[in-house]
Structure 1
Amino acid sequence: MAAVESNIVSYAQVGAGARTAADSADRIDWIQLSLIYLPLATPVSDAKVLTGVQKPLTEIAFVFCEIRTRDGHEGIGFGYSKRAGGRGVFAHAREIAPNLLGQDPSDIGKLFVQLQWAGASMGRAGMTTQAIAPFDIALWDLKAKRAKLPLAKLLGAHRDSVQCYNTSGGYLHTELPQVLKNVATSRESGIGGIKIKVGQPDLSIDVRRVGEVRKLLGDGFPLMVDANQQWDRQKATRACRAFEGFDLTWIEEPLDAHDHEGHGQLADRFDTAIATGEMLTSFEEHAHLIMAGTDFIQPDAPRVGGITPFLKIMALGEFKQRKLAPHFAMEIHLHLAAAYGIEPWLEHFEWLGPLFNEQLQLKDGRMWVPDRPGLGFSLSEQAIRWRADLAEFGQRP
């Protein structure tokens, strides 16, 4: 009995002298927020403009977050808003930013919840969630940089490249001859798929445009269409039936973004896959969508609150065997799509190019994960010149 007691004392003494993870943790000591407006060369219209519910898109508001720690580690992330809300996201981000000062940057899950509670009275979806995204994404970027790994590799990549499609050349404001020129240019540049907008008041116009693009691309080349939520269930059913013969990879947002049941029913009824999810702004909303049975899920990390909730969406989506095609922000989503277990798609937008010093590599229809640590991008001088507001917290490095 005496020998047993002696061993207990020995273990207690060892434990008393050991340092814990909390003892040696790094700390956040500086945060900078930038509100940057990216102008678009040509106003952009989709079905929401034709139906009169929105005005043409002329600029995109970005909220960038830069974080630095006591030990000299850095991270950058961003959120964005189209048409309205940019200053609101920036204002809420500015309110909650001080909660991160002095915190361990590795505790990303804990910090996400902390920022949620900081704005809990405003809800857990929408603008308050989108204001968390720049911080959360910057923390993941920092973590990967500290590990000297691209974020995809830190997460556990399934692939080094992701098949990539282009959207920006097929908007409804673009006349069909120009759409065909844009499609040909995109294909020659090495893009792996083409998406065009639909949702004209006259369905026959949509069918003609899709038919001409299919003829140009030939059989088998991936082609998608996007209705931007502008059909009710009856019109969506008719449109899906009309498009069945074009061998589409998917029909996107045929219904209101929150009609999870309707999207699931269309997925069950037609051979052509149904895709949706870009407008949802929380994990919970995506969970309802995934369980309803749509074929492709299209989460947007800046809209759902960052990478932390996006990873939860990925886990549930993979469990339910949903395909993944993240919306917009390819600089972030390339890494996340590379870490998805089922072959995904990445949406290519050249619009964001002027914001960054680095550009992604497109080859053989796929976007390749860069070997740069973290997300692999930094703000350009042009982006800084577009800055409309700035807020700093803590000690400047």
Structure 2
Amino acid sequence: MVTMTQATTGTARSAGGATLDTITWIKLSSVTLPLATPVSDAKVLTGRQKPMTEVAFLFVEVETAQGHQGIGFSYSKRAGGPGQFAHAREIAENLLGEDPSDIGKLWTKLVWAGASVGRSGLATQAIAAYDVALWDLKAKRAGLPLAKLLGAHRDSVRCYNTSGGFLHTPTEQVLENATASLESGIGGLKIKVGHPDGKQDLRRLTAVREHIGDDVPLMVDANQQWDRPTAQRMGRALEEFGLVWIEEPLDAYDAQGHAALAASLDTPVATGEMLASVAEHWELIRQGAADVIQPDAPRIGGITQFLKLAALAEHQQLQLAPHFAMEIHLHLAAAYPIEPWVEHFDWLEPLFNERLAISDGRMHVSARPGLGITLSEQARAWTRATHEVGKRA
């Protein structure tokens, strides 16, 4: 352990008297999570993608001169995981000697370290893992769950399950999965749509709604696979199901189309998960293209960027339903002023030693400091590459 006096020497002291700690060690890990069953949504049925068999994760572990630690992650489905790891490896040394509290400054420094590859997409997704780790560290140092550090509006968030309703799953199994989800305490269900024959989607939804009853919150997700006329027709046909929202009915970058659809339907329109920057989300917000905004912190650059986007969304009184990565998004949703939703996926559970508590339709913020997660031995076993810079305290 390094003393307070030692920690303020060298780089830290040159940064000013307010710098009391510095980053001394960083470890990157490329982890590949295998899925038990290949997963298909409408993108597979349209031939644009193959079934998903694994998810690649970039984990960042950070330690300071005083021995404080933080962990963060980003991810990529299908292609992109090795690219994120490679970019993160190139820019890692830029954080050594820096004050871990200066998170906004460090985000900007990492962006400029790789400025020629831009401020969205793979580059900022790599930065996201660092950013999340620094926020985790900051909350742990304060002895607070991240939601409390940010300023929570609630200690639990409404949650819905997605993983039980993919298109590769037979309808009878979807119904069994729905029962299991609701019995586990999850509050709502999201079902994938986008079959080539829309009548098949309607039959499937009819079976689900009859099975769960009218009072259970139900959402659908078309994964960007409808054109504008199809989205309009299907949107009208779906009104009878009393949906919480219709998700990604159109291409993620078709803000104008989403805006026209949102204006014409009673059912709210949700989108945003595939966008890779705050600027791209702002175009949705500016055009009134979403009733429910669905940012993904690892995709847009981390928690620092998510907070900027959340402020814009709140200003427009939008609902918030972050995509995937519930281990991060539970905290961010808890800090959003308007009652949000968080998406439940059990896919990531083998990566961590801890489990999130769910009951009465809500996911609960634990008392554990930071994100409240530690990497499991299974995650270490699935690690394909590591890289370290600096020295441990």
TM-score, normalised to structure 1, is 0.94
Q: For residues 188-207 of structure 1, what are the structure 2 equivalents within 5 Å?
A: 188-207=183-202
Return the match for 1:343 from 339, 345, 352.
Answer: 339
1:23 matched to 2:17: yes
Distance 2:384 2:147 in 1: 32
2:154 is aligned, of 156, 159, 165, to 159
Q: Distance in 2 between matches of 1:118 and 1:236?
A: 42
Is the Cα–Cα contact under 8 Å of residues 220 and 247 in structure 1 kept in the other structure? no
**Percentage of matched positions with identical amino acids:** 68
Q: Does 1:319 align with 2:315?
A: yes
Alpha-carbon distance, 1:20 to partner: 10
Partner SS, residue 256 of structure 1: coil
Q: How does 1:269-308 map to 2 (within 5 A)?
A: 269-293=264-288, 294-308=290-304
CA displacement at 1:192 relative to structure 2: 0.3
1:222 aligned residue? 217
The structure with the largest alpha-carbon Rg is: 1
Amino acid of the structure 1 residue aligned with 2:181: S
* Offset from partner CA, 1:276-299 (integer Å, 9 cap, x none): 000000010011111221100000
In 2: Cα distance, 1:210 partner to 1:118 partner: 48
1:121-157: CA deviation from partner (whole Å, max 9, x where unpaired): 0111110110100000000000000100000000000
The residue that corresponds to 1:48 in the other structure is 43
Which whole-Å deviations, capped at 9, do the CAs of 1:84-135 have from their partners, x for residues lacking one?
1000000000001110000000000000011111111011111011010000
Equivalent-residue separation in structure 2 for 1:20 and 1:91 (angstroms): 31
Mapped to 1, the partners of 2:15 and 2:155 lie a distance apart of: 32
3-state SS of 2:230 partner = helix
Question: Relative to structure 2, which stretch is displaced further, 284-293 or 220-229?
Answer: 284-293
Query: Hey, what does 1:358 align to over in structure 2?
Result: 354
Which runs of at least 4 in structure 1 moved beyond 6 Å after TM superposition?
none
Corresponding residue for 1:263?
Answer: 258
1:84 aligns with 2:79: yes
TM-score by length of 2: 0.95
Q: Show the 5 A alignment for 1:47-196.
A: 47-196=42-191
Q: Deviations over 1:347-378 (max 9, x none)?
A: 00000000000000001000000100000000
Query: Runs of 5+ in structure 2 lacking a partner?
Result: 1-12
Per the alignment, residue 9 of structure 1 pairs with none
Distance in 2 of aligned mates of 1:139 and 1:253? 31
Q: CA deviation at 1:21?
A: 8.0
Q: Which amino acid aligns with 1:258?
A: Y
Structure 1: gaps (5+ residues): 1-18
Paired AA for residue 310 in structure 1: F
- Cα deviation 1:319-368 (Å, max 9, x = unaligned): 00000000000000000000000000000000000000000000100000
- Structure 1 position 221, deviation (Å): 1.1
Deviation of residue 159 (structure 1)?
A: 0.2
Superposed CA offset, 1:175-214 (max 9, x none) = 1111111111111111100001000000000011111101
CA distance 1:20–1:390, change in 2 (3 Å): closer
For 1:193 and 1:209, the matched residues in 2 are separated by 17
Residue 99 of structure 1 aligns to which amino acid in structure 2? N
- Structural mapping, 1:239-254, within 5 Å: 239-254=234-249
Alignment RMSD (CA, Å): 1.0
- In 2, the alpha carbon distance for the partners of 1:22 and 1:151 equals 26
